[in-house]
Amino acid sequence: MLSSNFDRSWTAPRFSALFGILGRLRIVGVPGASVSETVRHVGPAEISSPARSERHLGSVARVLRTGSSVPGAWRGFGEGVGLRVLVCWMLLGLVAVAAKAEPTRVATLTPLAEEVVELIPEQAELVATVRRHLHEPVGPGMIDLGNPHSPSFEALAQSRPEVVVGDRMLHAALARKLEPMGMKLILMDGSGVVPTLNGMKDLASQLGDDIVIRERVAGLESDLSALAIDQQVEVLLLFGSPGSFYVVTERAWLGDLIVRLGFVNLAPAGGSERMPGFVPVTDEVIASMTPDLVAMVAHGDPAQIEANLRRRTNSDGPWASLGRARYGIHVLDPSIFSSNPGLGLAEAGRGFVSLMALPASATGDP
């Protein structure tokens, strides 16, 4: 059936090029009607919408199968143009099916794009990606691009992508390098909840089909709204690496997420960010804080970083006040919180809210 095989990527730009070829043809048996003239009766909105185009092709199939009247099948286009529209869409549908393109080859420098591509297999194919965790290789059949901060361009060239997806903060300067290689760069912003979800919808749209991702995003936004707490809980959100700690601000996705959930982020205002969303910790700042909850994302060896945090909070020094947080000190699950989880943001939200009912992990409590 024509409708089931219609390629959603045949939107306005491709149809415009097609009209240049078909526009000179006359529709046999229909007086004074060329294809291009007939299309003007349809209107640009009908041409640019794949969903509407698919419905029109379905109508063509119904007419051919049932023999129903042409005016009845095409009443929405107005009297007198039904037959011309019918023949026009038959031509366009046959060409679209015959010229159906292969999925776009996509390589991503940010894990956020993986879920988007997986949801639209007819439009896009993921051929290469970066690692979510430094010591864990990418999935089978995928070319490993390494670390998002320093991806392998040799591996990227080997994957032969048509589209490369990058992080707006990390990879914006790569456009000039990728363009001569015939690769289009699409940038996503993973710094907050709203930019993340908008970026996923935009990527799906550029790849040819954003229907499924929009439905998933709508459900995710509803889930996040339902998770919001109804009390004031002040949170110190830490990022721990070997030998140093940072406070996570609202300019990072996790800092933005907890504020959206109703928590108060105690990140100091106006701090000097070493990286966007991360402010180096000083003993003076820590000593002045009395958070209700302390949570840490560990980068590197979680056990070593947790032990370092435990030594600081169990001493009589400036970090001792953190040990008195009424909801405790928690080391977050790296499989959920080490990088922006995209469509898993609701899962991350549930995990964070549940910390208020869990025993503290970094204090050594059972």
Contact 323, 295 (CB under 8 A): no
- Alpha-helical segments (H) within 99-152: 112-119
Could you give the C-alpha distances from 111 to 146, 214, 333, 341, 342, in angstroms and in order?
12, 19, 17, 8, 8
- C-alpha–C-alpha distance, residues 156 and 178, integer Å: 10
- With b for 16 or more beta-carbon neighbours within 10 A and e for fewer, the 286-312 pattern comes to beebebbbbbbbbbeebeebbebbbeb
Amino acid at 143: I
- C-alpha–C-alpha distance, residues 272 and 278, integer Å: 8
Could you give the C-alpha distances from 231 to 94, 196, 255, 292, in angstroms and in order?
60, 26, 18, 12
Contacts of 330 (CB under 8 A, 6+ apart): 293, 294, 295, 296, 355, 358, 360, 361, 362
Q: What are phi and psi of 45, to 5 degrees?
A: -65, -35
pLDDT of residue 90: 60
If you average pLDDT over residues 87-100, what whole number do you get?
Answer: 53
Looking at per-residue pLDDT, the higher value among 356 and 67 belongs to: 356
Question: How does pLDDT run across 147-164, given as a tens digit for each residue?
Answer: 998 999 999 999 999 999
- C-alpha–C-alpha distance, residues 182 and 221, integer Å: 36
321 CB neighbour count, 10 Å cutoff: 17
Say whether 26 sits in a helix, a strand or coil: strand
* Span(s) in the chain for CATH 3.40.50.1980: 104-225, 229-357
pLDDT of residue 349: 98
Residues comprising the chain, all counted: 366
- What's the CATH number of domain 104-225, 3.30.70.890, 3.90.870.10, 3.40.50.1980, 2.60.40.740? 3.40.50.1980
**Nearest alpha-carbon partner for 100 in 45, 57, 68, 130:** 57
44 CB neighbour count, 10 Å cutoff: 12
If you average pLDDT over residues 29-33, what whole number do you get?
Answer: 45
97 CB neighbour count, 10 Å cutoff: 15
Q: What is the DSSP letter of 101?
A: P
Task: Pick the range with the lowest mean pLDDT from 27-31, 186-190, 302-306.
Answer: 27-31
Question: How does pLDDT run across 114-157, given as a tens digit for each residue?
Answer: 999 999 999 999 999 999 877 788 988 899 999 998 999 999 99
Report pTM.
0.71
Contact 221, 134 (CB under 8 A): no
22 CB neighbour count, 10 Å cutoff: 18
pLDDT of residue 207: 96
- C-alpha–C-alpha distance, residues 366 and 349, integer Å: 24
Chain centre distance of CA 87:
39
Residue percentage of the chain with pLDDT more than 70:
70
**Nearest alpha-carbon partner for 4 in 47, 50, 48, 58:** 58
Q: What are phi and psi of 230, to 5 degrees?
A: -115, 25
Question: How does pLDDT run across 294-321, given as a tens digit for each residue?
Answer: 999 998 788 888 889 988 998 888 999 9
Superfamily of segment(s) 229-357: Nitrogenase molybdenum iron protein domain (3.40.50.1980)
Instruction: Kindly state the helix (H) or strand (E) to which residue 165 belongs, with its residue range.
Output: strand 163-167
One DSSP character per residue, 234-300 reads: EEEEEEEETTEEEEE-TTSHHHHHHHHTTPEE-PPTT---SBTTEEE--HHHHHT---SEEEEEE-S
